Structure 1
């Protein structure tokens, strides 16, 4: 059933993405070419609308399945969907009007607060002894903080074509397997789980969007997509907390039981690391933590000589190393997992910094762009139909006769 819902989410997202692009062109949701960006032609950015459609359709279908009937007894499922819808609309507004950071933060807090009021809330941390949050007010604040951090972490890493969608698809798959295994152990007579449902649907919408978004992309997911991915990931993680027995959290036995805490962090390890590094870097330079720059992880990958496609695939590898290593702790001894993870890290380092940077012509940007009209389509298709956005002086077309690498815009 979960795989069916994943397929439905992917199919709906895939077929509605062209409609989302059409909406982006007519509402002016277009990424201009800014100094900090790595894309070189104006590109529409409302893919989050298609992803949101896939999410809603799949969840509504799941609510009609007897197998998942218990999941929808409470308000949590639609609380996550409602919060996702709020940030999706917020992101769409930002994609059109370029909202200031304070307005975006207020909208993110509103969405996280709405989700928390629908009982998607942290009451305990999955730590040895089961750390309980002492008051309902503090629980609400901690929940909002966790959700807002997750949204912004995914938004920070959304800087190359297919990067954010691929990272969440890979990490979400690991989280899906973990929550499914946890549910099977906890209630072997009933495999229904809200976290497993949400992760299946989340992976589905990412897979459905990737064919349109992988380099060279015809449509960016925009803030409407990246913030929605972060919120749903955080919501699913929160619903898992409290489902492990604190009594088993002693010594080595505590390692797999820490899954609800370790796995969400492992899934967004790259986005979270990128965000922390960016904030520290900007504060150390006396700048606002929201000040844009070209020093994100994906910018550094390009700087060492990787093409856009190769950089994205390597970051996929690192995500898989972190996420599946954490998920493996549920099934295997921690020593075995540690040894395998060490080997995987060495391989990832070699792939990142070794001679493969210049191997594999099919991964080069010029090969990816050769024979396509996407660069020209982004210019000739977006600007004349974007209404008022076409008059923005920041939008400067790059001649289609000499296509150059372009990629998902980095918002911060």
Structure 2
């Protein structure tokens, strides 16, 4: 795969004039995410490494211009993220911002970038509002969203008889979106929602929330949170004997990083949805091992999605012969996405990159034969089923 990308880049460079319309004589990409909080392993410094890998695999230059990657920690605060983004755009000559874990951050930076006419590619944020009512001609959403998670994990549990749900939800835009999308999907399949409770981001004590969920009598407790919050919820649920009592936990946003952090003893048997798994094909395995060599960890869908987003952005600049945001946006909508993350991916009019997602089950410790090989792939969900029909997304850009 690396050789394929390098060859593709080399062919493109050879076929394109040496002089191109590049502002500031370089391409500068910012990776803005949580590097010290509950989502530090979910994206964090690993997404920064994925972005640097993409640049290296691309050849390090677009035309004859260098490519630079910078990063910062937004601390899961939209105001801090917006201030960093503004400085990057106004002073530091950053052309595009990517990753943007935390939906409140993603929405805030995408809105600022629309005003500044700058490209954002969200790979860490989850809310469907990014490509719904708050979509942008310069905003793109890669890797996953709350609708895909609802269809994957929610759909699997409803089919298994989990037709009554209670939600334990992170109290901000991401949690609301995940709860709403999953609730709507459960109801569309004939299920019911008995209630919900919301908790602050980065909680340490989930006892009162779990007691409410336990007393609801719902067959499934939907965890509409992520990162360390989900890990802590699952650990404390075990102390209350919730699953032993017959209720199921639905980890609606849970990735390889969190499975590793929680450990197989606690995570075994969980169903979850990711759009990438390192051990799914020979190409993903080769990428995963290269990634692990430089980070010590295998990539999840956010890390691999960031690699894909950076690669596609550079391809779009190359195809446009310019880093002008309008020209690059047009090419991002036009070009198919074929890389280690996605095969035959496509970008819809609302900015949603549509590719397949995968329903997983976490293996039992006795089933693991290789380090980090934690998943069984239960089903492939075609992208057109996983993501909202752009015409129904509420995005005003969709004609």
Shorter chain as normaliser: what TM range? under 0.3
Q: Kindly indicate which of the two structures has a greater share of residues assigned to strand.
A: 2
TM-score of the superposed pair, with normalisation by structure 2: 0.27
- Flag the structure with higher helix content: 1
